[in-house]
Amino acid sequence: MGRKIGLVVEVLFDLAHFKVHTTMKGRSSYLLPLPTTIIGFFFAILGKSRELYIKERLNFKAGAQIINIGGICRENAQLLKLKPGREDRVTEELMLLLRPKYKFAIWGEQGVILSLYKKISDYEFDFVPYAGISDFIFLDINNPQLHEQSKEINIVKNSYAPRDIIDSVEFSEKNSVIYNFPYTYSGKHEFVVMGINVGFKLKKKILSIEEVPLYDCFLTIK
């Protein structure tokens, strides 16, 4: 592997819906996109296929930090799963985000990051980035910043962290929002905790750019 550098951009969505596809009951959408979505967002700009995404995503770290959000729209949807002789009716909550603005960060091979920086600066995208579901596209992306070095931190604010490395939680304002969110990795259930106006003190230091935490695509800490 060659030299690695990082990139941070500000991303604004008109309407976004980040959803995990492995849950069938309870909450299945969340406030901030996970590293898998962020890497896919950047790879779409580069024109990389899904096959290349699956092959190359392990070579990158990514993360997100929420800057502000216009509001949250909640909807309840009923899913019908038809089986021979039986109908399963499952209700889940959908959470649509109105005008959320984020910092997206990615860290990886220098050549790829420089190509990404140029495409964003020139506003020339091979594929249109998405906001969790293909119907919800982004509104704007700006202020790309290259970083030659990352920084170790043990406090993460307005973002997320794997639950097993969180030592304590600090709520900075009355309107703080926090979620304990399940996901699946290698057949095992894992949890990530995310929040707005919330700080997480971690048991160990992790890499970051501009205070945006960097994780591999499955939120594993090595």
**96 in a structural domain:** yes
Mean pLDDT calculated for residue range 138-159: 95
Task: Specify if 205 maps to a domain.
Answer: yes
What contacts 9, CB < 8 A, 6 or more positions away?
A: 103, 104, 120, 141, 142, 143, 144, 145
Structural domain total, the chain: 1
Structural domain for 197, as ranges: 4-216
Please tell me whether residue 152 adopts helix, strand or coil conformation.
Answer: strand
Specify if 221 maps to a domain: no
| pLDDT tens track for 104-136 | 999 999 999 999 999 999 999 998 887 666 667
Q: Flag whether 222 is in a domain.
A: no
Domain assignment of residue 40, yes or no: yes
Tell me the per-residue pLDDT of 164-211, one tens digit each, with 9 for 90 and over.
Answer: 999 999 987 778 888 888 777 666 778 899 999 999 999 999 999 999
Look at residue 51 and tell me if it is in a domain: yes
Q: What is the mean pLDDT of the chain?
A: 86
pLDDT of 24 reads: 44
What is the percentage of the chain residues whose pLDDT exceeds 90? Answer: 53
Cα distances (angstroms) measured from residue 140 to each of 10, 121, 171:
8, 12, 30
User: Would 116 be classed as within a structural domain?
Assistant: yes
Contacts of 201 (CB under 8 A, 6+ apart): 154, 155, 166, 167, 168, 169, 170
Question: Residue 69 sits in a domain of what CATH number?
Answer: 3.30.70
Largest CA distance in the chain: 60
